[in-house]
Every structure is written in C-alpha cells, then in structure tokens.
Structure 1
Amino acid sequence: MNPKGPILFFDSGVGGLSVVKEARILMPDRAYVYVADDAAFPYGDWQEDALRARLIALFGELIERFAPSMIVIPCNTASTLVISDLREAYPEETFVGTVPAIKPAAERTRSGLVSVLATPGTVRRQYTFDLIRDYASRCEVNLVGSEHLARLAEQYMREGHVEEADVAREIVPCFQEQDGRRTDIVVLACTHYPFLVNRMRKMAPWPVDWIDTSEAIARRALLLASALPLPDAQPQGRDVAIVTSGNVTKPLARLMTGFGFALQA
C-alpha cells in the first residue's frame, strides 16, 4: 500500500461511478483510479470459482500498477464473493467492500415486506442469506435476481437511452401484496441500479423507499482515508479510468470525462 497513492475503485462496469460521485464530494483532494472489468461483464454469468480466480489475479496486476492507498469495491457480486480472499491474498492493502443494505431496510420497513433487487449471483450467495438471518429475521425478504437490469443500466450510462418497459419487467417481482400489506422498501443491491432509479420510480405500481448504498460506501472510505496523508500535488487530469476489454468507444470516453476521468484501455 502506498499511503499517498490513488484510491482505486473497481466494478464490473460503469456502475461504481455512482459511488465515485459521492466519494468526490467527501474527498475532493484525493486522486482516483476507476477500473471497469467490462471484459468479464456481467459477473452474474460466471461460475464462482472462475470469477474468484480471475479477480484475485487481476487485483494483483492493478496493485502492482497503481500502488493504491485504498481499494473500494462497490460491486455487490465481487464483494460478497471474493473480498475475504483478496484480503488474505493482499494483506497489506486496505479494501472497502459493499453488501446488500438488508440491515437498514429491516430497520426502516413498516409493512415488514422488503425486496432486495440484485444480480443473480448476489441473491444466491450464502453471504446474502446470512445477512437476512442476522438482521432481518422479523421481515419477509423477497430476493429478486434480475437477469437484465445491470445490462440495461450499463446501456443507459453508455448510450443515454433505455426502454422503460424493459426496466418495468425487471422490477415487477419486487412488488408484493400480502394480508393488506405491500412492499415498502426495495434495496438496490447493485451499483448499476441507482442510475435507473428515476425510471424505476416512474414504472413502479406504488411508491416505495429505494435504498441506495453509494453514500454509505463513500463515507466508509472517507473514515479510512482520514488516516492517510494527502497525495502529492498532481497535474490536472490526474484521474484515470481503465476498461479491461480495451474497447474505448467515444460514448464511453465522454461518460468517463463527465465523471472526471481520462479513459485508457
């Protein structure tokens, strides 16, 4: 770990930019690197052992290249699968992960009906079941593994367009009625999903509280970063974004520029 190095954000695609946006508000003087593992997107299509091996090897390359002061993994799928392995493999590094916001949802629900909207990989992981057991045993938690929503969000961010009917189909299973009660909270357990939340609100059959963990992740990073010295003065345009596919398209470059990154393959 280089205490003056950049903070490295890692996600399967562009979804983690939702956390970078919050982090920049809280830590404007830090240097940032953003890595989108779009060569492997979406992670939900991978077998767990293969994805675990890929990520452990990839992080070794990233740590050697950037010497980060901290590594933030907003991606729920990657965090719940491999963050303990990463901490074991790279014990000198500081990792900040994320988990589905099941605990705050259980504390805030009034109806007792909570839905967790996530990728298929996240909803089938034992980590998620353990969170429900530990923090939401008095609620009825409906796990909704969306096959297509992350792709739709990625498309929206890169191209600026998505069909609202496609979004509606993905969120319909979140809304349940039982004994006069209705789902009142939906946990957005994927960093891609907040970029579509306005579409979700519009297409929802009734109003719910959508829980987004982006700010909470950024605040955790801030807490850990407070013990680190500020980086040395850097030239303008210091922040870089990497896409593992090497597919540097003009729309993607514009997107990254809008978030303050110079895009590299």
Structure 2
Amino acid sequence: MTASIQPSTAAGVQYLLRLGDACLVLSHRISEWIGHAPILEEELALGNIALDLLGQSRALLTRAGQLSASAGGNAFDEDQLAYLREERHYLNPVMMELPRGDFAFTQARNLIAACWLLPMWTRLQASTDAEVAAIAAKAVKEVRYHQQHAAEWVVRLGDGTEDSTRRMQDALRQIWPYVNELFASDAIDAAAEASGLGPAWSSLKPDWDAAIDEVLAEARLARPQHTPHVYEGVRGVHSEHMGHLLTTMQSLQRSYPGGVW
C-alpha cells in the first residue's frame, strides 16, 4: 500500500488545489453516467464534458505540484495529487462530491458549476502565473460549451412536461444549499487575489447570478430560497459521500502503486 502524501499548505498551492479538485471530483461524478445516460448522444456529450474537466484538473494539479516544490515542499505530479491524498487533503467544494443523482440533478449541477467556472477561467486568463493563464485560455472555451449544454437541458426539462418540471425544480432545491461555498472567500483567496494568481471566489457571484437567472427565467423555474449555511469542502471538511468516492477513484493506484499501462 502506497503511503499518502500531503502537499504544501502555501496559499498559491492551496488555491490551485481547490479548483483542480473541484474539476477532478465533478469529472468523476459525471463519468458515472457512462453506460447509463438516457440517449447515446447524451452519453457521448457527458463523457466529453467529464474529459474536459479531467484535463483541466490534470493541468492545475501539475502546476500545484510544481508550486509545492517552489514553496519548499515536495514536488508531486498530477497522479500523486489525484490519487494519493487522504480525504481531508482534498479541497473541492462539497457540491462536486454529491452522488450522481438523476438526470435532472446532473444537469442542474453541471449548469451551476459551469456558470461558476466560466467567470473563473475568464479571469484566470489574466493570472500573473503564465502557466495558469495558459490553462485558462484553453479551459474557458471548453466550459463555455459545458454551460450552453447544461442550460439547454435545464430549459428543456424545466419548460417541459409536468414531471420533468417537477424533477428539475426538485433538483435545484436539493443542490441550492451547497451553492454558498462556491463564493466563500478566505485568506487563501485574498492571497491569490493580492498576488494576481487568481480572483477571490466571492467576486464571481455577480456573473454567476446573471447567468443562472437568465437560464431559470427561460426555463420558467423558480430560484430556490437562499440558505445561510456554508459547507467547508475547500477546507477538507467533506460529506459522507467523499470517502466512498475516493475508495473507487484511488483503488487501482493504491493497489498497484506507480502502475503504468
């Protein structure tokens, strides 16, 4: 069994891990639709979205590993960071680790995530870290498609049959309490903003609100009631679902450390 690793706690490393882990874990959840999507075309679309997110995560984790070494810690590669950390060292928002749910839940989460990631990547194109800016320039094009794809399904289901409308409204209501974490800034955000590495997450809220409200209006769906609670996945405090997810995701690497094809 391979020993677990712990990356540097430097603010820049932690900032990139938060975003990289968000993409990694959401990619894993979306990939669970392979073989289960309602139509073949959608199975291919979800698979491509999952692969896009995985690519974004790979790039961010690689850069985080490099910055970890620069900060005086160990240098880790993308595979080590993806597969060899303990649960408390993953820094994704809790929303991303929630079980796959039904098709309405998946599209609601994809929309919420894409509307958050699009302004994130847009601003990261101006990062003072040239590597991060280059990653963002590619990712922003991918996430623009993710947002469009999810929005089309939310509108199609929200303004569809009585049953599809109910399912989509229920999905939004179920996921809404987890939204606040996407915009909760702290010292790590402040350091990233001060250094020019990336934006404070709270600054993304106006763009996210505008994008979400436009889709909900077209879908004739009610915006769920605001809840004050803020989850703390970005600080390593996860739901009961994260451990089960990691058991699946890490099983091969833990069983055959350093294995290659």
After TM superposition, the score normalised by the length of structure 2 is 0.33
Q: Which has the higher helix share?
A: 2
After TM superposition, the score normalised by the length of structure 1 is 0.33
Q: Which has the higher strand share?
A: 1
